[in-house]
Amino acid sequence: MTLKLIKTNISKQIIKFKPGTSPASFEISVVNNGDKFASFQIEVLAAGADANMGGDWYNISPGVSAKTPPGDSISFNVTITDTPVAGFVGKMNLTVRIFSLELREEDRQLLRLIVEPGIGSIPVQVELILREFQAQPEELIEIPIRVFNPTQLVANVLLQLSGVNPKWLLEAGERRLSVPAGAKVETIIFCQLPATEETLSQEYPFTVTASHPNGPSSNTQGMIKILPKGYIEFKCIPTQRQIPATRSWLPQWKTNSANYEMEFYNASNLIQEVSVNVTEDSNQPDCFLEFTPPVENLYPGETKQLQLLVSKRRPWFWIGYKLIFEAKAQVSDQRLEVRNETPTLKLNILPVLPMWLQLLSTALLLYLAWSISWLNPRSPFFGHKQPVSSVQFNGLGDMAVSGSHEQKMIRWKISGFTNPLINQQNGYVAIPKAVKKAVRVVRYKPVDNDVVAAGLENGQIQLWDVIGSADAPHATLTMDKADRVFDLKFTPNSQYLFSGHGSGLVLQWDVNRILANSITNQITSQITSQSRPSVVKRFNFTVASLALVGETQETLLIGGRYNQLRMWNWKQDKLRQLPYNPGGGQEDYIVSLASTQYKPNLMASADNKGQITLWNMEPCLNTKGNCQVLEQWSDGHGGKAVRSVALSNDGCYLASGGDDNRVVLWSLANDGRRISSRGEEVITAKKKFNSVDIKVVKDKVMVIGGNDDNEVRFIQRPRTRCLGS
């Protein structure tokens, strides 16, 4: 016979329990028949009981015993506080399970529980299946409720929802239920939310109360969270004003302000704090701005207005001007959409004096001032008196320099061409007659733009301080005094200057060394011989134009008489002839070459027969292949000679000037070809153009030209991006 390790004794075999009275209890004694210390636990199981109730209907003391030595015993007290099966009356079996983890054994004992009809009232139990609900206005909310009847009688239950606006509740928020004894019943109460503007976005706590005739009521709480919905409508009435409001033939002295009405309409379920932020264009004069009131509280469905006062002192003269403001609606809750959030406000400011009075009083003065000012091309006090042979922008595009046959070099302030109050002429690079001979070409030193190189009719190259009006150059470079200088080209780092001559010579000058020696000589008061070129390259044709191409800028293009075009790698001293179509005779010249900084493989050429060619130099720079002719045309200047071409640094524009007395602007695509076969005529004159230059600065394309009628002309156009091919 196997010895049981757990021995159990129960004090009672039959237990009576009456709900509503004192609890029933019994005692269990457990003996440790094992050979080691062991702890014991008790569990009571009732036939037909809900497994979810667990041990809620009884208590055991102690819950877990201390470890008991072999042969010793421990006592447990079991107290029944409720019926295992709600509403049950009668007899049921209870199973007492005694087990030990150390002994790995359990013992089960049976006893009889007699449940008698109870006394007193027991409340029904009500619970929310969901306790929190989120919804937007106009939505229907379903609130599921579960009712449990723990009594031994059928309960007629009244459910009532309270705590929210009664208008939200369908059927007054009530439900009547008949709940059988010990049963659970589920139902739904419906809540219909009103329109957006009638429902504030916030949390609304509510209570569900369950009452019945046979016992006290019970309740539970939940929460309805109304989500934001709707928008804020913003508008300005009107968006355009004028100071003064009406025009008059007589001066209106004291009118210096205008009013705008800013209107807000709250079509949401949120209380909003609204205001307006007005920003001005940084390029326009400041105004005095004042809002009345500065801030408003706006409730759902409400419309309010803010008054904006704009004050600005009006000018006495001129035609007035227009101010532009951006009014941005400000709301306290960024979750809401603001419609028409940033309207643009316009304000026309008219002068104090009417236009007729201004015109009458200033017409004569303007005429007299014009006749002697820089605005008059024939003014005896400004500009060149003989044909302009060369023009060039500086690196920033705010200044330019020109040279002419009259032995003068003039600095020009670009802002003076667009602003009549600024003198275009910014002085002379050298004092008049200090140059001695006609100037054929002028070029800025790229680094710092602090020196201008001038190529003269007598073959000299002079380096002048660009701040100018000096009586002598920094240095004079000469190899042959009878060899005219046709073109000059600096390397991008300003280390070297190349010069092209009528004899066919191309000379390389070490400018940095020459300038350094010049400064040293001035300090020591030494007189040295004129500087000499560091490299001499001779060609069998007149050199008319030079251009540096390629990423490394080590390749110099040389163009000239007989339509000759040569490519010289001056670092490796490698020379190559490029085919040019058509070939030329002794009267044919490639008169202008141009390259660009940001597209160093793009090159433009022009000849005295009116032909313009766009080249892709990459195939012949990187390999031994032929340079690619992208496009070639001869009708740009009516078949007449094209004296000068220039490319913008970004390679998006080409400017050309010629014997048809016009400067033409050509827009180029990303691949270097023209976007349109017809260029834009930007400058016209009565005589031919000898030199043009082009510069792109921010959103402007600027073109400058010099011609035989002794003038330097300037034009600017809005910049557009390079288009794809």
Among 406, 498, 396, 499, smallest CA distance to 450 is for 396
SS3 153: coil
Number of neighbours of residue 22 by Cβ within 10 angstroms = 9
Task: Decide which of 666 and 349 is more confident.
Answer: 666
Number of neighbours of residue 573 by Cβ within 10 angstroms = 9
CB 85 within 8 A of CB 49: yes
Query: What torsion do the CA atoms of 131, 134, 140, 143 make, to the nearest 10 degrees?
Result: 0
Which residues lie below 8 Å from residue 407, measured CB to CB, with a gap of 6+?
432, 433, 435, 436, 437, 438, 439
- CA–CA separation, 547 and 249 (whole Å): 61
289: pLDDT strictly greater than 60: yes
Mean pLDDT (whole number) for 28-52: 86
What's the pLDDT score for residue 383?
86
CB 222 within 8 A of CB 206: yes
Mean per-residue pLDDT of the chain: 88
pLDDT digits (tens, 9 = 90+) for 131-153: 999 999 999 999 999 998 887 78
pLDDT band of residue 446 (cuts 50, 70, 90) is very high
pLDDT band of residue 52 (cuts 50, 70, 90) is low
Lowest mean pLDDT among 22-36, 52-66, 403-417, 427-441: 52-66
- CA–CA separation, 5 and 447 (whole Å): 105
- CA–CA separation, 17 and 22 (whole Å): 8
Among 679, 525, 489, 699, smallest CA distance to 603 is for 489
pLDDT digits (tens, 9 = 90+) for 139-189: 999 999 999 888 778 889 999 999 999 999 998 889 999 999 878 999 999
pLDDT digits (tens, 9 = 90+) for 340-385: 888 889 988 888 777 767 777 777 777 777 677 666 656 667 889 8
- CA–CA separation, 172 and 164 (whole Å): 11
What's the pLDDT score for residue 207?
95
Structure tokens at 685: 């004159």
Burial call 321-357: b when 16+ CB within 10 Å, e when fewer: eebebebebebeeeebebeeeebebebebbbbbbeee
Mean pLDDT (whole number) for 226-239: 90
pLDDT band of residue 526 (cuts 50, 70, 90) is very low
Number of neighbours of residue 612 by Cβ within 10 angstroms = 25
pLDDT band of residue 529 (cuts 50, 70, 90) is very low
Structure tokens at 163: 């705590």
What's the pLDDT score for residue 527?
39
Cα distances (Å, whole numbers) of residue 275 to 227, 290, 580, 597? 23, 12, 70, 50
Q: What percent of the chain has pLDDT over 90?
A: 58
What's the pLDDT score for residue 710?
92
Cα distances (Å, whole numbers) of residue 56 to 75, 81, 90, 614? 21, 8, 20, 97
What's the pLDDT score for residue 432?
75
Mean pLDDT (whole number) for 85-100: 85
Cα distances (Å, whole numbers) of residue 624 to 240, 616, 617, 620? 66, 14, 11, 5
- CA–CA separation, 60 and 76 (whole Å): 7
pLDDT band of residue 528 (cuts 50, 70, 90) is very low
Domains of the chain listed by start with CATH number: 6-115 (2.60.40.10), 125-226 (2.60.40.10), 230-349 (2.60.40.2310)
Structure tokens at 484: 């005219």
DSSP secondary structure code for residue 661 in this structure: S
Number of neighbours of residue 91 by Cβ within 10 angstroms = 12
